[in-house]
Structure 1
Amino acid sequence: MKIIIVGCTHAGTATVVNLKELYPESEITIYEKNDNISFLSCGIALNVGRVVKDTKSLFYNSPESLAKLGVITNMKHEVLDINFDDKKISVKNLVTNKVFEDSYDKLVLTLGSWPIVPKFEGGDLENIVLCKNHDHAINIIEKSDNAKNVVVIGAGYIGVELVEAFESQGKKVTLIDAENRIMAKYLDKEFTDVAENEFRGRGVNLVLGEKVQKFKGEDGKVTEVVTEKGSYKGDLVVLCIGFAPNTKLVKDKLETLPNGAIIIDEYMRTSREDVYAAGDCCVVKFNPAKDTRYIPLATNAVRMGTLVAMNISKPTIRYMGTQGTSGIKIYDQCIASTGMTEEVAKSTTSISVGSVIVTENYRPEFMPTHESATIKLVFDKDTKRIIGGQIISKVDLTQSMNTISVVIQNEMTLEELAMTDFFFQPQFNKPWNILNTVALKAI
């Protein structure tokens, strides 16, 4: 079996490693535009903040290690076109500029995503950078050494983490977002208020509810970011506006969402025979809403890539879908969420949305310390099915949202969660676990 993998970050790497284990005699060829694979972009902020000292440590695999498995690893190669009828691809060697053809029995598209970059006036000025791959990480760190005023555009997880990292390095930081709250897709207001106060308390300038209009500069370098309401100094600007599927290669050739995300079935198959797709270039089955959405996460990518390998000969293991579970640490605050927020559920579904919130000490008050935690459940008022959860505390209780992820995936109700058996030990919790408590309050 001759298998070609186009693109090799998280989904591609997972596919290749598992394919070689399951089908050791198969001929596997990778075509990747970059000169590296498996870069964890979620670690860039940790690198900027000097928590992670070496950018190279953010790789968990390499072309060399895959080559040792017997995989043909073609780095700096761009796939120009795919002929799905004849099962052939056209490839350009970016070092020699030579163009050639290759053929496949099975094709795996792990094309990834790319940062959204609107066409701003002044967008070509120096020191306006992206935050996605290894080259971006190196660029950000080099340019931030001499930067005094850093502007981060986009208050999702990556943008927010970068803000903390820059602030910790003594930079004057401005965070701009068109939404009225930071991390609005992941957390409701009760939680983003706490996070915003953490930033404001450390002098970060939060510019929310404003859209960037243009950039101004001097001597070819950016000096100012202009919104419709004001202007803000910045000698380094990082664009973290969001990501879009990197699927121009298959435009009008495969079934996709309007944004270009490739539509796949529960076995990772695309609309063309013997063509599979996984990772940030695809749709995901979103269990809380019982629909399909575009949710680019590395956790989704590695699972989907593994499933490609398991299903490439015949349908074997179904994709269970995702809850979009995620976590973040902002200074001392440990935050996690899963499923839909109350705001997202109300704005994107017809569900009769209910919610309940509890703040209590995470363990008995007779213990020497007993930090408070705030937890929220979002649920369907008609069926009592749980569709979302969020937690915040100075104690790391984020694993609770992994539990709620399982709850959502298995369509559990408030009553079931309220009476679920959790252990009690005063070092860790109370006789009623906080997950029990919030569900009990709801019913």
Structure 2
Amino acid sequence: MKYVIIGGVAAGMSAAMEIYRTDETAEITVLERGEDYSYGQCGLPYVINDVIPELEDVVARRVETFREKYGMDARISTEVTNINVKDQIVYGIDLETGDGFQVSYDKLLITTGADPVKPKWEGIDLKGVHTLKTLTDTEEIMQDLDEGVEHVTIVGGGYIGLEMAESFKTLGKEVTLIQRGEQVAPIFDSDMADLIHEEAKQKGIDLKLGESVTGFSGKDRVESVKTDQHTYSTDFVLLAIGVLANTQFLQGTGIHLNPRGAILVNPYMETSLKNIYAAGDCATDFHRIKQKDDHIPLGTTANKQGRIAGANMAGNPLQFKGVLGTSIIKFFDLTLGRVGLSEREAEQLKFPYEVQTSKANSHAGYYPGGETLHMKLIYHRDSKKLLGGQIIGKKGVDKRVDVLAMALYHDMTIHELVDVDLSYAPPYNGVWDPLQQMGRKAK
């Protein structure tokens, strides 16, 4: 059986290894547009600010490992340009030589990920304007920072923008963050985002909210950022305004995409085309609370979907059970966690809902060192089933977000939180966990 995988990072290589373990006769070809395989993109901000000492530390396996140890035809610098779905042939270009190539397949997996959005703004190609996704991007950013950069401007206040704001600030740079909307971290509700704004200002981040970037100016290197309201001097720009699924090469194949270009898949990671599967950031994921396809590109989802796609391709049927949008981020002294629906999303979906908010201690009040947890739960007004939660604080956020994720996965009500047998010792918790206290107070 000839397996071809387009994309060699999280989803692609999770699938490749699952095929390798399941089908002993597999012929596996991997076509990777970049130069690196199987690395942790989420660790890159921490390489840039030296929390992770070496770039190599975020690499799980080098391409040579897949070739020499696992016998895969693992290629680099190969860009796929077209697929003949009738004859089951993949066409592409070797980016090093410029030569075309073709590879036939019995089963094909598309794991091409999502590329950072890079609008056609004036000056977008000036030196000093960067995006962050790959190891190469990371190296270029680090080299550029060493050229005497003093002021960094970040365009976009999502997770990458916030993580990089902290990263640049810890390197001693002056940091301006420009966000088109009225709040950073738009996956949080505005009342929770206010806590993030406060932390940013306390740490010296110059927030510019409600401004839209229109372009950049400079001679050879970026010197200023233009918005619809002002012009700001800078000598380094990071674009972090979101990603789009890398699926342009699929035009003409007839494959079904969602409105933003992500590949529609079923629970077995099958696409609308015979013998073609998709997984990771280029594919949709079923949202368990919304009960419809969504597109939430996260590393956890990519690895799960890749494993499931590989298993199904190799004849071991597995189903992807869906996502809850569970995520967490470190932002200076705060941890920002959320799962399920925000209040804004519940309104958009016309769910009848109630909101419960609370400020609680991260562990037993009499034990020293406790920190305040700012908590928000959203639940269905009629069934009382949990719909989502947002938690921000300095300690204990991860513990509660994961408890909520498990509760949402199993369709629990806010009142059923009270009965869960959670761990307790004064350094870690009170006899009633803050989530359980909220369950007791709910209507």
Residue by residue over 1:361-384, the C-alpha shift from the partner in whole angstroms, topping out at 9 and shown as x without a partner, is 122222133222122111121221
User: Normalised by the size of structure 2, how large is the TM-score?
Assistant: 0.96
1:252–1:418: structure 2 CA closer, same or farther, 3 Å change rule? farther
**What is the identity, as a one-letter code, of the residue corresponding to 1:178?**
R
Other-structure match for 1:82? 83
How do residues 406-425 of structure 1 correspond to structure 2 at under 5 angstroms? 406-425=406-425
8 Å CA contact 1:12–1:305 kept in 2: the answer is: yes
Other-structure match for 1:213? 214
8 Å CA contact 2:285–2:322 kept in 1: the answer is: yes
1:123 alignment partner, SS class: coil
Cα drift, residue 345 of structure 1: 2.3
Residue by residue over 1:261-285, the C-alpha shift from the partner in whole angstroms, topping out at 9 and shown as x without a partner, is 0000010000011111000001110
2:91 alignment partner, SS class: strand
**2:96 and 2:143 mapped to 1: Cα distance?**
25
**1:234 and 1:74 mapped to 2: Cα distance?**
39
Other-structure match for 1:434? 434
Alignment of 1:69 onto 2:70: yes
Other-structure match for 2:53? 53
Cα drift, residue 314 of structure 1: 4.4
Alignment of 1:165 onto 2:177: no
How do residues 168-187 of structure 1 correspond to structure 2 at under 5 angstroms? 168-185=170-187, 187=188
**What is the identity, as a one-letter code, of the residue corresponding to 1:420?**
V
**2:333 and 2:191 mapped to 1: Cα distance?**
17
1:199 alignment partner, SS class: helix
Aligned residue pair count = 440
Name whichever of 312-321 and 384-393 sits farther off.
312-321
Other-structure match for 1:281? 282
2:121 alignment partner, SS class: coil
**2:433 and 2:252 mapped to 1: Cα distance?**
51
Cα drift, residue 393 of structure 1: 1.9
**1:193 and 1:318 mapped to 2: Cα distance?**
39
**What is the identity, as a one-letter code, of the residue corresponding to 1:264?**
V
**What is the identity, as a one-letter code, of the residue corresponding to 1:80?**
T
Other-structure match for 1:368? 368
Other-structure match for 2:156? 154
8 Å CA contact 2:124–2:215 kept in 1: the answer is: yes
Other-structure match for 1:267? 268
2:182 alignment partner, SS class: coil
Name whichever of 174-183 and 375-384 sits farther off.
375-384
Q: Percent identity?
A: 30
Other-structure match for 2:292? 291
Name whichever of 151-160 and 64-73 sits farther off.
64-73
Cα drift, residue 45 of structure 1: 1.5
Cα drift, residue 313 of structure 1: 4.2
**What is the identity, as a one-letter code, of the residue corresponding to 2:109?**
V
8 Å CA contact 2:150–2:235 kept in 1: the answer is: yes
8 Å CA contact 1:375–1:438 kept in 2: the answer is: no
2:397 alignment partner, SS class: coil
1:373 alignment partner, SS class: strand
Residue by residue over 1:92-151, the C-alpha shift from the partner in whole angstroms, topping out at 9 and shown as x without a partner, is 222222222221110011011001111112222211111111111111111122211110
Other-structure match for 2:338? 337
Cα drift, residue 204 of structure 1: 1.3
**What is the identity, as a one-letter code, of the residue corresponding to 1:129?**
H
**1:138 and 1:345 mapped to 2: Cα distance?**
41
8 Å CA contact 2:158–2:184 kept in 1: the answer is: yes
**2:169 and 2:368 mapped to 1: Cα distance?**
32
Residue by residue over 1:291-328, the C-alpha shift from the partner in whole angstroms, topping out at 9 and shown as x without a partner, is 11111111110000000122114472211000111111
8 Å CA contact 2:176–2:205 kept in 1: the answer is: yes
Other-structure match for 2:25? 25
Other-structure match for 1:124? 125
1:36 alignment partner, SS class: coil
Name whichever of 54-63 and 292-301 sits farther off.
54-63
How do residues 203-242 of structure 1 correspond to structure 2 at under 5 angstroms? 203-217=204-218, 219-242=219-242
1:315–1:56: structure 2 CA closer, same or farther, 3 Å change rule? closer
2:191 alignment partner, SS class: helix
Residue by residue over 1:234-282, the C-alpha shift from the partner in whole angstroms, topping out at 9 and shown as x without a partner, is 1100000000000011124200012110000010000011111000001
User: Normalised by the size of structure 1, how large is the TM-score?
Assistant: 0.96
**1:239 and 1:123 mapped to 2: Cα distance?**
10
**2:86 and 2:78 mapped to 1: Cα distance?**
22
Other-structure match for 1:6? 6
Where do 5+ consecutive residues of structure 1 fail to align? none
